[in-house]
Amino acid sequence: MSNLDRQATLSVCGGRGFVVAEPVRELLTPRHVRLGESTEVRRLLPNLGRRMVGAWAFVDHYGPDDIAGEPGMQVPPHPHMGLQTVSWLHEGEVLHRDSLGSLRTIRPRELGLMTSGRAISHSEESPKSHARFLHGAQLWVALPDAHRHVEPHFQHHTELPTVTAPGLTATLILGGLDGATSPGTTYTPIVGADLALSAGAEARLPLDPDFEYAVLSMSGQAEVDGVPVLPGSMLYLGCGRTELPLRADTDAGLMLLGGEPFEEEIVMWWNFIGRSHEEIEEARKGWMSTSCFGEVKGYDGDRLPAPELSPITLKPRGRVR
């Protein structure tokens, strides 16, 4: 999914500036952003005061939206560099096309993982014949410097490993959890898991104390370490945890995101992750004037133009707490 914000601003993320080295309970409020005519997303990352969680650099939650008789998601061809996109659905379908020639329909609890590397472009849309409801999350993972120029590639995994406990099923999206490992390619120590909780469930999820974590609420009523987390909000948990208490009053869906704190400082603007203003500026010029991002074939419409790149001062990092 693209960042369609026409007022996109440069921001510095990563490093240890925002990392909390101990367990905390920091509830993040989303920013509401329109994507096309019928889709509104709740943007949790980047957030005021919280730029990243491990290598997770961007989190949008959308739906459940009733798109019966509506076009649903319609995101025209747009570029990416320096990151991976993770498409994750609870309801509906998303048709993915990219400049490598990939054409895949992603369905609930299937992993759509696109590694942009040096340059790629793609589109995302609801199929013409689609389910009534659309509900999911779109996430980005920042690539470390050693791998950010890899050849672009796309992976679609329809079968993913699970970890179970009474009242809990955890599906591995990326990385590993409690002995299970996702088949998705990763470039930093990271974890992403979909947590399905039954009404009345109480469980403790094992964690890595060297990771920082956050939990995104997708649906239902659940408590994370005693904190009620409503759908569309995210609880940042800091580092230093060996387990995470979970409790559900109703059937609930959560996403666990974590990883080793991202050591490198990155510059994020629009749909690009780079290391300097100059690099971002060159990427923008490349999208507007050349074919270095490739061509998305088969999409019925024009590609997305880049917004203006303002020469404003980069937003500062926070302090270690």
Strands of 103-106's sheet in order across: 74-80, 120-125, 94-98, 103-106
Strands of 272-274's sheet in order across: 11-14, 265-269, 272-274
Helix (H, G, I), strand (E, B) or coil at 310: coil
What are the tens digits of pLDDT across the range 67-122? 999 999 999 999 999 999 999 999 999 999 999 999 999 999 999 999 999 999 99
Average pLDDT, the chain: 92
Residue 276's H or E segment, with its range, is: none
Question: In which band, very low, low, confident or very high, does the pLDDT at 291 lie, cut at 50, 70 and 90?
Answer: confident
Greater model confidence, 11 or 289: 289
Whether 211 is in a domain gets the answer yes
The pLDDT of residue 196 is 98
Instruction: Give every CB contact of residue 289 below 8 A, 6+ residues apart in sequence.
Output: none
Q: Domain count of the chain? A: 1
What are the tens digits of pLDDT across the range 139-151? 999 999 999 999 9
The Cα–Cα gap between 254 and 83 comes to 23
Whether 285 is in a domain gets the answer no
Whether 290 is in a domain gets the answer no
The Cα–Cα gap between 321 and 292 comes to 41
Greater model confidence, 3 or 285: 285
Residue 242 buriedness (CB in 10 A; 0-12 / 13-18 / 19+): exposed
User: pTM of the prediction?
Assistant: 0.92
What are the tens digits of pLDDT across the range 12-34? 676 666 688 899 999 998 998 87
Whether residue 67 contacts residue 84, with contact meaning beta carbons closer than 8 Å, is answered with no
Q: Could you give the angle at the alpha carbon of 186 between the alpha carbons of 181 and 188, nearest 5°? A: 105
Annotated binding site for Fe cation: 78, 80, 122, 124
Whether 304 is in a domain gets the answer no
Whether 271 is in a domain gets the answer no
Token digits for 158? 């329809």
Closest Cα to residue 60, out of 91, 35, 97, 25?
35
Whether 90 is in a domain gets the answer yes
Match 């509104």 to its residue by tokens. 40
Token digits for 243? 């387990």
Model confidence at 318: pLDDT above 50 = no
Question: In which band, very low, low, confident or very high, does the pLDDT at 48 lie, cut at 50, 70 and 90?
Answer: confident
Whether 103 is in a domain gets the answer yes
Q: Residue type for 141, please?
A: V
Q: CA dihedral in degrees (268, 273, 276, 280; nearest 10)?
A: -90
Q: Considering only CA atoms, give the Rg of the chain.
A: 18
What is the CATH classification number for the domain harbouring 40? 2.60.120.10
Domain containing 142 equals 26-259
Whether residue 50 contacts residue 18, with contact meaning beta carbons closer than 8 Å, is answered with yes
* H helix count then E strand count, the chain: 1, 26
Model confidence at 11: pLDDT above 90 = no
Whether 85 is in a domain gets the answer yes
The Cα–Cα gap between 208 and 274 comes to 28
Half-sphere exposure of 234 (CA within 13 A, CB side): 29
> What is the maximal distance between C-alpha atoms in the chain?
56
Model confidence at 303: pLDDT above 60 = yes
